[in-house]
Structure 1
């Protein structure tokens, strides 16, 4: 099998579906970690006391909410360029020398043959993965629970 065929087959069999699958799974795992972080921040805000006017409140009852984030876009980009060349060089040179000296003839012949075959393969590749992350408002259900709790008498207040 020629070198060109081998390199071409390697390029065609690149694991693009696996790369896309791994990107999707990585984003899902990252999104779950971001969501868990927002929940932990909400819990920490509920447990953080703030004293105002002789009364103690937690940060949630004062209107603070944790930040929520979401991935809105992900891009995988792969670039590959390669070049291959094969050259063959053949050269032949011949020479004949003849001398006549006192009736004796001397003849010499020389033949110089050279053959060169050169292969050259170069490949360059680059890849990048980009993801866009945006801040979102707290979920409406979360805000609704906070409103109900607030209306029921400011939980977290030491009355």
Structure 2
């Protein structure tokens, strides 16, 4: 039975806090990458010029804005199932034979003992991580600065 207890302890002490911590850090890093990408896209839009008639405009002044995204939820799901069995088998077989022939007495005895102890452990695990992204409007301060710059440029 000590082997069964050791396996149970190992399965129950799975590093769930570390898994959750790593998920949180991964989401923070991914969010930073998404924000950096949107800022870089805004720079490209500011540098991309379009000629309309006799005037030249950049994409931001024409109202194009980069997309911003945010993680709205993240889920970690872990499923673990395990079964353990332990069985002990003991068998004893005794045999005796007696014979008398022409005044000779013969006796024989046999003893057969067997002992078997069997352990079986089976585990199954499955995990999944899901994250949900939503598109957000550009930050208000960003759009206000763009509008103010555009209005100043047309005056």
Shorter-chain TM-score category?
A: over 0.9
CA–CA distance in 2 between the matches of 1:7 and 1:104?
61
CA–CA distance in 2 between the matches of 1:8 and 1:95?
43
The answer to which structure has the higher helix fraction is 2
Higher relative contact order (CA 8 A, sep 6+): 1
Q: Which residue of 1 aligns with 2:102?
A: 102
TM-score, normalising length: structure 1: 0.92
Q: Which shifted more, 133-142 or 7-16?
A: 7-16
Unaligned runs of 5+ in 2: none
Aligned residues: 155
Unaligned runs of 5+ in 1: 155-159
Q: Which residue of 2 aligns with 1:12?
A: 12
1:54 shift after superposition: 2.7
1:23 shift after superposition: 1.0
CA–CA distance in 2 between the matches of 1:14 and 1:37?
36
Q: Please give the per-residue CA displacement for 1:60-117, whole angstroms capped at 9, x wherever unaligned.
A: 0111000000001011111111111100011111111111110101111111111111
C-alpha RMSD of the superposition: 1.5
Runs ≥4 residues deviating over 3 A? none
1:12 shift after superposition: 2.6
TM-score, normalising length: structure 2: 0.95
- 2:72 is the counterpart of 1:50: no
5 Å-filtered alignment, 1:8-157, equals 8-154=8-154
Q: Please give the per-residue CA displacement for 1:42-74, whole angstroms capped at 9, x wherever unaligned.
A: 000000111111322110011100000000101
